Chains A and B, each alone.
Chain A
Amino acid sequence: MDKYDVAIIGAGPAGMAAAAQASDLGLSTAVLDEQIRAGGQIYRDVDKAAPQRGEILGKDYTDGTRLTKALRQSAVDHIAGAVVWAIEDEFRISYTCEGRGAQILADRILLATGALERPMPIPGWTLPGVMTAGAGQILLKQSGVVARGAVLVGSGPLLYLIAAQMVRAGLPPAAMIETQVRGDTFRALRHLGGAIRGWPYMAKGLKMLAEIKRAKVPRYTGATEISIEGDGKTEAVTFTHKGRRQRIDCETVFLHHGVVPNAQAARSLGVSHGWDAAQSAFVPELDEWGQSDVAGVFIAGDGAGIGGAKVAEHTGRLTVLKIAENAKRLSTQDRNRMAAPLRRALARELAVRPFLDAAYPPYSAALQPTDSTVVCRCEEVTAGSIRGYAKIGCLGPNQTKAFGRAGMGPCQGRYCGLTVTALLADANGQSPDETGYYRIRAPLKPVTLGELAAMNETTQDATE
């Protein structure tokens, strides 16, 4: 079994930057990623897509080729198409690649598992034709596929980015139904100082809004009571805007109200998480180097708290400095010297976050869905059922599994976990920290018996 100084999970901006730097510092490094080509979701398939549709996707996307190139030119073992399903015993990593199970060993783990879309349970969100905005972007990046006449629902910079990209592709969205209200803008203005320091982000945002306006995409801000309707597939979005009920016919809806750390692997390793009120999400408890409270486990990028692609890149490199020091490849003095410019860059990139978090908060009706709304997509458990479990004494998310299987389907709570915590916390008058989150165990992704059988053969081969 191959053994490495560090194994990095995820080849997005944090993982790619960290891997190249780790290798430069003399650490034997493996990076495992589910996708066949490096990039993560933000730079999904960038090597293939940048030459074909870089104009539509923009420079922030094509910039990802800088990181894929550095990874390619490094001595890192990039194990592509690898679905990691267990990390155990300090540390044996089990994964499936090309239909076979396999394992590697590593002294340290760097989780660069990125973000997931914040679950947005609104009536009708399980209908075919409803996707996340991130999914819409992936369709465009990886496949050059754009939905005609799509309606974008929710809030936040990613919604404007995908709208602008659809405009550039010649297929502007039919409408944007936005959930932020005027009060959010006022609250955000308290963070104006940060917004000014993060001016390049603000300038990009204004440019995208101008593109959307020029394309005459109707925008409905402060929308409430949003519902997706259709018989077996998406047919329309209905919502209340300025006191009037509206209906927009469409076949495709893209949902987005922020992204949250993808903590499945971190939680399976027992890393402590705490509630971050500004980000409305659980974030791992880390020191300033991305080191968790589990020895040998480090986290960088959006999985450590949402900051975006540039922040991910910087935190990836910063965390590797600590790992290299830990592996006696870097003196403490050199570590601190090399960290200084990264910390300055991080502060610059993070300056705009408080403004954005306040200006585009999650859609409140999707944090506390109506009783009939499905919250667990896999097992079709409704918000009303979860509230019902609370009434008969259910205090925490792990108990809801026994009451009604919420979080026990194949997605393993990825798209219901935060909602279930929020519903129980509200019903029981507790905080999200008191309520807690699902206990996450291996396998992190389903694994077939055939894949396991294939792994036993390889293990035997290796010992013969």
Chain B
Amino acid sequence: MKTASPFLEIESGPRVDVTWEGKTLSLPEGSNLAAALLAAGVEVFRHNPVSGAPRAPFCMMGACFDCLIELDGVTRQACMLEVSEGLVISRPSEQGGA
């Protein structure tokens, strides 16, 4: 995982551990999951099911569906979720579709 993210957190607060693609990330508790993953250096959230092209958050408001991730076997929009202790998340397994 690259750590030199261009996305910087301008404040600091309590952090919790989540699992992303089998690796442990320390993310700000209660923060927006998509924002926290970007700041943690995650560059690719999913691959477009048509072309396989890499995608990452685009709109941050639940409209574009480019930040889809998998949580508990369900494909969800990362920008509509908050970080909590112990989340186990990954890139969507079924070709990235919703």
Q: Tell me, yes or no, whether A307 is within 8 Å of chain B by CB.
A: no
CA distance A126 to B46 in the complex (A): 12
Query: Within the complex, which residue of B38, B63, B82, B97 is in contact with A145, where a contact is CB–CB below 8 Å?
Result: B38
**Which residue of A has the minimal Cβ distance to B12?**
A144
Q: How far is the CB of B34 from chain A (nearest CB, A)?
A: 9
Contact call A414/B64, Cβ cutoff below 8 A = yes
List the B side residues contacting A145 at CB < 8 Å.
7-10, 35, 38-39
Contact call B7/A252, Cβ cutoff below 8 A = yes
Chain B residues bordering chain A, tally (CB within 8 A): 40
Contact call A446/B60, Cβ cutoff below 8 A = no
Binary CB contact string for chain B from 44 to 72 against chain A (1 if under 8 A, 0 otherwise)? 11001011011111111111111010000
| Residues of B in contact with A (beta carbons under 8 Å apart) | 6-11, 28, 31-32, 35-36, 38-39, 43-45, 48, 50-51, 53-66, 68, 74, 79-80, 82, 97-98
Known: A131-B58, A132-B58, A450-B74. A143 touches B80 (CB 8 A): no
A interface: dominant SS: loop
Known: A53-B10, A169-B10. A135 touches B65 (CB 8 A): no
Q: How far is the CB of B46 from chain A (nearest CB, A)?
A: 10
B interface: dominant SS: loop
Contact call A146/B10, Cβ cutoff below 8 A = yes
Q: Which of A85-93, A206-214, A362-370, A374-382 contacts B (4 or more CB under 8 A)?
A: A374-382
Known: A135-B57, A142-B35, A380-B53. A415 touches B63 (CB 8 A): yes
List the B side residues contacting A252 at CB < 8 Å.
6-7
List the B side residues contacting A456 at CB < 8 Å.
none
Q: Tell me, yes or no, whether A429 is within 8 Å of chain B by CB.
A: no
**Which residue of A has the minimal Cβ distance to B28?**
A143
List the A side residues contacting B51 at CB < 8 Å.
380
**Which residue of B has the minimal Cβ distance to A131?**
B58
Contact call B7/A139, Cβ cutoff below 8 A = yes
Binary CB contact string for chain A from 110 to 130 against chain B (1 if under 8 A, 0 otherwise)? 000000110000000011111
Known: A53-B11, A131-B57, A169-B10. A139 touches B43 (CB 8 A): no
Could you list 29 examples of A-B contacts with CB < 8 Å? A34-B80, A36-B82, A126-B53, A132-B59, A134-B59, A134-B61, A135-B58, A138-B61, A138-B79, A139-B32, A142-B35, A143-B31, A145-B9, A145-B10, A145-B39, A148-B8, A149-B6, A150-B6, A171-B10, A232-B54, A233-B54, A252-B6, A262-B63, A410-B68, A410-B98, A411-B63, A414-B63, A415-B58, A446-B98
List the A side residues contacting B62 at CB < 8 Å.
34, 83, 445
Further contacts, 8 of them, CB under 8 A, given A139-B32, A144-B11, A415-B64 = A83-B80, A126-B66, A127-B54, A135-B60, A139-B38, A146-B8, A252-B6, A411-B65
Chain A residues bordering chain B, tally (CB within 8 A): 50
**Which residue of B has the minimal Cβ distance to A381?**
B50
CA distance A364 to B24 in the complex (A): 45
**Which residue of B has the minimal Cβ distance to A446?**
B98
Contact call B64/A143, Cβ cutoff below 8 A = no
Q: How far is the CB of B83 from chain A (nearest CB, A)?
A: 10
CA distance A169 to B10 in the complex (A): 8
CA distance A111 to B82 in the complex (A): 26
Q: How far is the CB of B1 from chain A (nearest CB, A)?
A: 14
Contact call B7/A147, Cβ cutoff below 8 A = yes
List the A side residues contacting B50 at CB < 8 Å.
378-380
Q: How far is the CB of B33 from chain A (nearest CB, A)?
A: 10
Contact call B11/A135, Cβ cutoff below 8 A = no
Q: How far is the CB of B3 from chain A (nearest CB, A)?
A: 14
List the A side residues contacting B59 at CB < 8 Å.
116-117, 131-132, 134-135, 415
List the B side residues contacting A415 at CB < 8 Å.
58-59, 63-64
The 6 closest A-B pairs by CB, nearest first: A128-B56, A143-B35, A135-B60, A410-B65, A410-B98, A138-B60
Contact call B64/A377, Cβ cutoff below 8 A = yes
Binary CB contact string for chain A from 88 to 103 against chain B (1 if under 8 A, 0 otherwise)? 0000000000000000
CA distance A138 to B38 in the complex (A): 13
